[in-house]
Structure 1
Amino acid sequence: MNETRRAVLSALETDTVSGPALAERLDVSRAAVWKHVEALRADGFAIESGDEGYELTGVPEFGGAAIEVGLDAPFAVEYHDAIPSTNDRARELATAGRADVAVVADEQTGGRGRLDREWSSPSGGVWLSLVLRPDVPPASAPTFTLAAAVATTRAAREAGVDAHIKWPNDVLVETPDGERKLAGILTEMEGEADRVSWLVVGIGVNANVAPDDLPADAAGTSIREVAGDVDRRVFTQRLLEEFDALRSDLDGVLPAWREHAATLGQRVRVETGEKAVVGEAVDVTGPGTLVVETESGRQSVTAGDCEHLRPE
């Protein structure tokens, strides 16, 4: 969003402000203020004009500018009604030098998950990718995946969904038919031996997605199916705010992840590509390693597909 337009919205968030006062505060002409107000109205913002000035009376249901209004986190939002992949766009922004951008879409037409698997991303979901430049070594990058899972879980719980995390990157809901996937996370990185150049954290949430629009073979669910429609604007804001708080306290990410984990204490089978590790998941250690108690002793797994098994 245009910086002056963003400043106009910020000024109107909490008070009614006259055109001359806005012009003086923003160091622009009164005509420029009027043009920005008209542009905001065209974007769906309800701005009333009265004797005391301009008053913000309504915000669009979703969209970049709507998400930024009242957002207590330092992310600029780039919104698309439809885009092939928010992660692809985020990588473009990252290689161009951008940071702290949230690429958000109502629909993805070419979404993907881990191992380049197709990820269904119909209209009504929350599909977003964060462009980050953390001052950490590459070995710490998985911590941001854990932070994204915690942030998503917390936002889902605020929306009335009893969500939990399955290692390494899925947010689940327990239903009468078993575990169902609510959200997935995909992190991509470029860096050198001692530091991360950029990090893209992709988060896909089945928010207001109808059951018929979910892939039949993916064992998925949505916030709509479990708890009814959610205010996607508020949900996205809470997710971004929780993530921002967690990335500012990386030492607190693992304890928060353990608190919401569905995997710990479960009997699991983890396919690593080379072998299968079967046993009880007993811990997750930094920066995201799963510790499994097997018949031959404890094994640490840094990556793989995890399946929760029925108790023997």
Structure 2
Amino acid sequence: MSVILAIESSCDETSASVCVDGVILSNVIANQTIHEAYGGVVPELASRVHQQNIVPAVHQALSIAKVNKNDVDAVAFTRGPGLLGSLLVGVSFAKAFALAKNIPLIDINHMQAHVLAHFIGDHKPEFPFLCLTVSGGHTQIVLVKDYFDMEVIGQTLDDAAGEAMDKTSKILGLPYPGGPLIDKYARLGNPDKYQFPEPQIPGFDFSFSGIKTAILYFIRDNVAANPDFVQQNLNDICASVEKRIATILLNKLSKAAKEYGIKDIALAGGVSANTGLRESLRALCEKNNWRSFIPKLEYCTDNAAMIAIAGYHKYLKGEFVSQDVAPLARMPL
């Protein structure tokens, strides 16, 4: 039997999970509300709150899983990419726990873990498959050949899709975090009311800087003519922005799937929690007779369960790291 304790602290969620023989028994996520007053994550504050949350989160994860700390066989942790101060808290805790218990350490790439979240539960894609990984900091199309054999075949050349949504929410005057609010209002709006441009980038790469600028100018010009424009049309604006971002993402994904001849299509990352994107992916796959795979909502945003399942597969291969391991703010897939 293998018991894996997993730690995730790459940004502003402190999370701990317990995995036994590939089955997730707990997934505790402690969110940080302190950043709401600043309209975004403040790295120094995030690392301080991680220090406050990590011991209670681990204790709760072990308690829910009904696992004694002395029965843990290995500790998996997010090594990167992420905020260096936040990563340092998780890495330090994992190293201390492993040293105290004389058990192995397993370092995990955060972006690989998002992809491997699809192996939690029974509905799993078959290799090779394509995974569109979308978050506030990353937008990638990944060709997944095996658990740890992944190739990025397309990525953003500038801003991430999640960052474009966050910027839009700020332009609209929505409180942080704005992504879920755009999703909420978009459900009530007409996605065809306003048209925003689609970048013409060759290959499978993305660009979102242009659409951010287009949205900014669109709101500026319309508010100049009507100060109440945003308030009167908020639902339609959110629906139209969401649709354009989704079509930018899925047009590239569809192109890649056809070129590579792959029929198992997956979606991962924090933005994969967006209702419109999830529905659009399902519709695209149904139209092309492809199989779609989207994790449960609790496994879309940053969480330790995805670290745990990735750690489990590394544990089976005996891939461990030593106590001199250090966090990496930038860590290629």
- TM-score computed with the length of structure 2 as normaliser: 0.27
Higher helix share: 2
Higher strand share: 1
Higher relative contact order by CA 8 Å / sep ≥ 6: 1 or 2? 2
- TM-score computed with the length of structure 1 as normaliser: 0.29
